[in-house]
Structure 1
Amino acid sequence: MSLDDAVQDLADRLGVALVVLDHDLKIAAFSVHDTDARLARLARLLAGSTAPVTNSLVEGHRLRYVKHGVRVPQAGGELVVLPLRHEQQLLGYVYYVEDREAPRVDDLEVLESAAPEMGALLSLRISERRHDKENSKNLLSALLGESPEARSAAAETLVRENLIDDVENYSVLVLQAPESSSRSVTRLAVEATLEFTMRSTTVKIVGAVLGAEGIVLFPRPVNHDRLERALADHDLEEVVAGVGSVKPSLPEAVDSYHEARLALRASRLDRRRYGRRVFWEDLGIDRLFLQLPLDRLTASQLPAGVRRLLGAPQGAELATILEGYLDSGGEIQGTARRLRIHRSTLYYRLDRIREIIGCDITDGATRLELHAGLRIARLAGLWPHR
């Protein structure tokens, strides 16, 4: 008998709607919810908006330690909760909301008598989940690896085992916690993305933590707003996310992965411009610059004008002025507005920049050299501190 069958048989016997949660209070199984009120409760639970069994309730009623059912008065109806164990290890909880007109006196006895079998079946479900998660991780690693043969085999297996939809639009999301955080934050970000997607759609996605990176494979483009909501729901605003472009086949998802890593790198190198959620399509010319060996570049390799400007007194401030001027296409009013300075101040500082770099900043070829040089200097961390 499966956990689902056991839950439904017990629910029918009691005349209630049962829900089984694992140790982390995530849904492991539930019975049929056959009334409007029960369906509404289930919908809220699946949407993640309300959960009758919370960590505070578990702590307040010592549910990790008790071996019998507990009745908890609540506004929406009494909550009946029973811990589930297997071989003395706490694995989760089974609960129902009392909404019957005539409860039976032996309900707790019936529930408790079924607990050993349900605990064993929950243990099996958790083991299966771990196996599925490890299998998905191995397949995802092979799909994004260097061997074309391994990528093709992993792609076929992912589709055959129904782990990902068989479509013509695949994109990769790479997540990474701040350097000051542990890798568990990255794992939480992956799980939050998977859970949010499962709650909001039937689209199948695959995610895992590989090394220091959290990776999620989507059979469609990644939506920026939904990504923000998925991470915001778990207070993961500090997690950096890079998103690759859509590819037409699963073996080609590796290209989206490399793009996503570069997008994530852009956030690390220029948070001011990109923020923490960066899409490959938004990188512009930085798509090329980010593939340079930026960590090996030195100031001596920059164009002479850029090198002189960055080495001058107030070099960081003057470089920011020139960067803003070039970003605005050399238009004075737009530059002043972008930099929030008066036009007369801008004219004065541009004259000072001309003196330092010794060239005409209205010349097209010179502008290209200066603009590219400044951008590379910023990405390579070669700007002087203010």
Structure 2
Amino acid sequence: MSLDDTVQDLADRLGTPLVVLDLDLKVAAYSMHDTPERRDRLARLLAGSQEPVTATLVRQHRLQAATAAVRIPADRQNGPRLVMPLRHQKQLFGYLYLVEDRPGIDIESDQGTAHLVEASGPEIGTLLALRLSDLRNTADRSRRLLAALVSESPTERQSAADALLRDGLIESTDHYSVLVYRSPDSSLAAATGLAVDATLDFTTRSTTVKIVGAVVGNEGIVLFPRPVNRTRLEKSLHRPGLEKVRAGVGSAKDSLTDAVESYREATIACRASALDPDRYGQRAFWEDLGLDRVLLRLPLETLTPRDLPDGVRRLLASPNAAELTATMEGFLECGGEIQGTAKRLNIHRSTLYHRLDRIREVTGSDISDGSTRLELHAGLRIARLAGMAPRD
């Protein structure tokens, strides 16, 4: 029998639902939850809002070393639990547990439940090991296919697209888009994989859409058979440990072989989020970048203040550079409209006039001239993306 069938068979014999967790305490299988209360408990488990077995409990009750079922007392969120470590060839692969809610059953004195769980533990452990092995093989294949799909080789891209569809890893549709995750430095590389897992997990729980994700090199890549949903992306990024991960989203393309273009857009959008988090936050969408689509293709890391227009360079070198730069950026982004700029900067109009006069003196420029404004706007934007503009 399969893992699911075996777990359900044991649950039927016990008269209570069962859940199987892997070593990361993620749900690997579960039996039918047949009452409103049990279904609600399962929903909270799958949503991550309730954890009957936590890493703290694993340590406190020494579950990793246990060879028999372990009883865990009730707490404020959960009733008493019975947890059985699952092994295959002496290697630990996860845990089987039940939350005791059967009328008249005292988990402390009920030996029959523990005996049945312990007797079924070896078989369930073997089936869990096989499932996790299959999942690892699928993950490895997904990684190889995604790497080929976004490669420079048209032949590799076509072959990968055919395999993804043939294996049912992604559905055939009219639009495909790519999400890219990156961590700011190598010490946080594990967070990139965590972001991919969070996206796969959230999408699986909240929709029936099939997506493919993997860490390829230093990037997390997730392929969607439709445009990426902004709200769902925000929710998946709210997981602990993902605070510093940056995300970029490409536009939807008409064919799977063209998803490489969405990937290239996503990498640029991800760079935008990393370089200007004040504007874009933790994630950026290609469709929102505007002129940054062009500017982010520049070798920003090699630019110095000497490469900027003279007026911009003088503004950045001024004593009140942070204040004056923010003022000029706000003024330009409001199209030179005084009232809107003052409101945006939360300052009085007379203060704004004073700062603009100071900017004219520092830059030696006529900021009412259209060409000068264009030069200042583009120059300041490049300085901001290159990390040369001071922050408030």
Q: TM-score, normalising length from structure 2?
A: 0.90
User: What is the CA RMSD across the aligned residues, in angstroms?
Assistant: 2.4
Q: Which runs of 5+ in 1 are unaligned?
A: none
Residue 22 of structure 1 aligns with which residue?
A: 22
Residue 93 of structure 1 aligns with which residue?
A: 95
Whole-angstrom distance in 2 between the partners of 1:283 and 1:190: 23
Please state if 1:324 is matched with 2:330: yes
Structure-2 change in CA distance of 1:373 and 1:4 (3 Å): same
Shift of residue 238, structure 1, vs aligned partner: 2.5
Whole-angstrom distance in 2 between the partners of 1:32 and 1:214: 34
Whole-angstrom distance in 2 between the partners of 1:192 and 1:29: 18
Whole-angstrom distance in 2 between the partners of 1:341 and 1:14: 69
Shift of residue 133, structure 1, vs aligned partner: 0.7
Whole-angstrom distance in 2 between the partners of 1:50 and 1:78: 14
Amino acid at match of 2:99: V
The answer on whether the counterparts of 1:64 and 1:90 sit within 8 Å (CA) in structure 2 is yes
Whole-angstrom distance in 1 between the partners of 2:297 and 2:354: 36
Please state if 1:351 is matched with 2:379: no
Structure-2 change in CA distance of 1:72 and 1:272 (3 Å): closer
Residue 81 of structure 1 aligns with which residue?
A: 83
Structure-2 change in CA distance of 1:316 and 1:9 (3 Å): closer
SS in 2 for 1:251: helix
Q: Deviations over 1:264-309 (max 9, x none)?
A: 2112222222222211122111111111222233333323332343
Q: Deviations over 1:179-199 (max 9, x none)?
A: 374211111111111111111
Q: Deviations over 1:179-236 (max 9, x none)?
A: 3742111111111111111111111111111222212112222222222221213342
Shift of residue 105, structure 1, vs aligned partner: 4.8
SS in 2 for 1:169: coil
Residue 31 of structure 1 aligns with which residue?
A: 31
Amino acid at match of 2:326: T
Structure-2 change in CA distance of 1:234 and 1:196 (3 Å): farther
Whole-angstrom distance in 1 between the partners of 2:390 and 2:33: 64
Whole-angstrom distance in 1 between the partners of 2:361 and 2:48: 61
Structure-2 change in CA distance of 1:272 and 1:98 (3 Å): closer
Amino acid at match of 1:239: V
Q: Which runs of 5+ in 2 are unaligned?
A: none
SS in 1 for 2:298: coil
Residue 208 of structure 2 aligns with which residue?
A: 202
Structure-2 change in CA distance of 1:66 and 1:337 (3 Å): same
Structure-2 change in CA distance of 1:73 and 1:364 (3 Å): same
- Aligned pair partner of 2:289 in 279, 283, 297: 283
Moved more, 197-206 or 223-232: 223-232
Shift of residue 143, structure 1, vs aligned partner: 0.8
SS in 2 for 1:62: coil
Residue 299 of structure 1 aligns with which residue?
A: 305
Please state if 1:10 is matched with 2:10: yes
Whole-angstrom distance in 1 between the partners of 2:193 and 2:227: 22
Shift of residue 245, structure 1, vs aligned partner: 1.5
Residue 164 of structure 1 aligns with which residue?
A: 170
Whole-angstrom distance in 2 between the partners of 1:69 and 1:250: 48
Please state if 1:186 is matched with 2:192: yes
Structure-2 change in CA distance of 1:98 and 1:325 (3 Å): closer
The answer on whether the counterparts of 1:48 and 1:199 sit within 8 Å (CA) in structure 2 is no
Residue 123 of structure 1 aligns with which residue?
A: 129
Structure-2 change in CA distance of 1:295 and 1:6 (3 Å): same
Structure-2 change in CA distance of 1:45 and 1:344 (3 Å): closer
Structure-2 change in CA distance of 1:43 and 1:352 (3 Å): closer
Residue 142 of structure 2 aligns with which residue?
A: 136
SS in 2 for 1:106: helix
The answer on whether the counterparts of 1:175 and 1:213 sit within 8 Å (CA) in structure 2 is yes
Whole-angstrom distance in 2 between the partners of 1:294 and 1:139: 31
Shift of residue 313, structure 1, vs aligned partner: 4.5
Q: Deviations over 1:6-48 (max 9, x none)?
A: 2223223333322211111111222233344433332332222
Whole-angstrom distance in 2 between the partners of 1:24 and 1:316: 46
Listed as ranges, the matches of 1:358-369 within 5 Å are 358-369=364-375
Moved more, 299-308 or 242-251: 299-308
Q: Deviations over 1:291-335 (max 9, x none)?
A: 122223333332333234334454454333322221111112222
Whole-angstrom distance in 1 between the partners of 2:112 and 2:328: 80
Whole-angstrom distance in 2 between the partners of 1:381 and 1:129: 42
- Aligned pair partner of 1:241 in 242, 247, 250: 247
Whole-angstrom distance in 1 between the partners of 2:64 and 2:384: 53
Amino acid at match of 1:183: A
Amino acid at match of 1:12: D
Q: TM-score, normalising length from structure 1?
A: 0.91
Amino acid at match of 2:250: G
Residue 224 of structure 1 aligns with which residue?
A: 230
Whole-angstrom distance in 1 between the partners of 2:165 and 2:323: 54
Q: Deviations over 1:340-384 (max 9, x none)?
A: 333333323323333443443222222222211221122223336
Equivalent pairs, count: 386
Moved more, 154-163 or 97-106: 97-106
Structure-2 change in CA distance of 1:318 and 1:130 (3 Å): same
Structure-2 change in CA distance of 1:121 and 1:299 (3 Å): same
Shift of residue 131, structure 1, vs aligned partner: 0.5
